[in-house]
Amino acid sequence: MNAAVTSLSRAADGRASRRTLSRLLGFALILTLCLVMLGAWVRLTDAGLGCPDWPGCYGHLTPDHAGEKIAQAVQQQGGEHGPVSLGKAWREMIHRYIATFLGLVILVIAGVAFRRRQVLRQSPLLAITLVAVVILQGLFGKWTVTLLLKPAIVTGHLVGGMLTFSLLLWLWLRQRPPPSYIDAEPVAALLWPARLALVAIALQIFLGGWVSTNYAALACTDLPTCQGRWWPPVNFADGFHFVRELGKTGDGSALPMQALTAIHLSHRLGAIGVALIVGWVGWRTLRTPGIGVLGLAMLAMLTVQWLLGLSNVWFSLPLPVAVAHNGGAALLLGLALVLNFRARQAAFKV
């Protein structure tokens, strides 16, 4: 009798711990998505050097406290249109404040996952790995400023944000009750297609980040051609030389237009590849019993991403569209991760 009561108590404790952890993870997920979009807003409004030091702003906690130094910097650069202004400083610091808060939430998540690992019956390793990723993200945030927006560092910061989002989503899915399928085998058969879609989306996110951090989004302003040609002059060697300054080649000379064109066209070609791969995987998922809604969501999000990408070119990179494009990439990545998780669960049942 006592053993049965103990077992029921542990089961109830496990459910309560999962609910708590699930809520924390859900909150952190939403916060991370907002932070990814906020980071895009900071980058696209040229506010990345609004506070040229780290972690404070000219050595102060807020831009208002650093108002005198910011005013001097604005005067030295000849006006508000340079890299420093009070508005840009606030945008940069708000991003840092939210990132710091997210880091604290993730520390709490890791603490809960570690302390309640027995009743959760889950390894805390993934939550601890998430803490390591967040620490690395903090370093990337510091280097973004102190190394003056080097494209490789800024792109790494974006990729780290997407990785944080992905790990949080995976942990959140682990707390959810597994779905019951009439036949798990068709869902399990989606595992390798799902992995292919995930890799394709991840590579495209990297290419999109490389476009953004090199300010190559408007290297081609026409569609479907680029600069009036199907294949204009390109320079992949300089465009994809990763260890260099912003706007410079590896030897320090000005980055030529052909390099920016190569970066832009690579993202366009990647978009075609993602459309073919994710479109096929989404269609196949749509036709799979028990998981069709997820396939429909993937196809819908893929369509939205394409329309946002085309709109960036058609309308010369309007800020709301460009920010939404970053958020859409995270959501499409999330849907691919959900498909991977569900297909992996089904594979264990087969």
Catalytic residues: 92
Nearest Cα residue to 319 out of 212, 227, 221: 212
CA-to-CA distance for 32 and 102, rounded, in angstroms?
Answer: 7
- Cα separations (Å) of 292 from 109, 114, 343? 32, 35, 12
Most distant CA pair in the chain, distance = 81
CA-to-CA distance for 267 and 211, rounded, in angstroms?
Answer: 7
CB of 299 closer than 8 Å to CB of 287: no
3-state secondary structure the chain: CHHHHHHHHHHHHHHHHHHHHHHHHHHHHHHHHHHHHHHHHHHHCCCCCCCCCCCCECCECCCCCCHHHHHHHHHHHCCCCCCCCHHHHHHHHHHHHHHHHHHHHHHHHHHHHHHCHHHHCCCCHHHHHHHHHHHHHHHHHHHHHHCCCCHHHHHHHHHHHHHHHHHHHHHHHHHCCCCCCCCCHHHHCCHHHHHHHHHHHHHHHHHHHHHHHCCCCCCCCCCCCECCECCCCCCHHHHCCCCCCCCECCCCCECCHHHHHHHHHHHHHHHHHHHHHHHHHHHHHHCCCCCHHHHHHHHHHHHHHHHHHHHHHHCCCCHHHHHHHHHHHHHHHHHHHHHHHHHHHHHHHC
CB of 267 closer than 8 Å to CB of 312: no
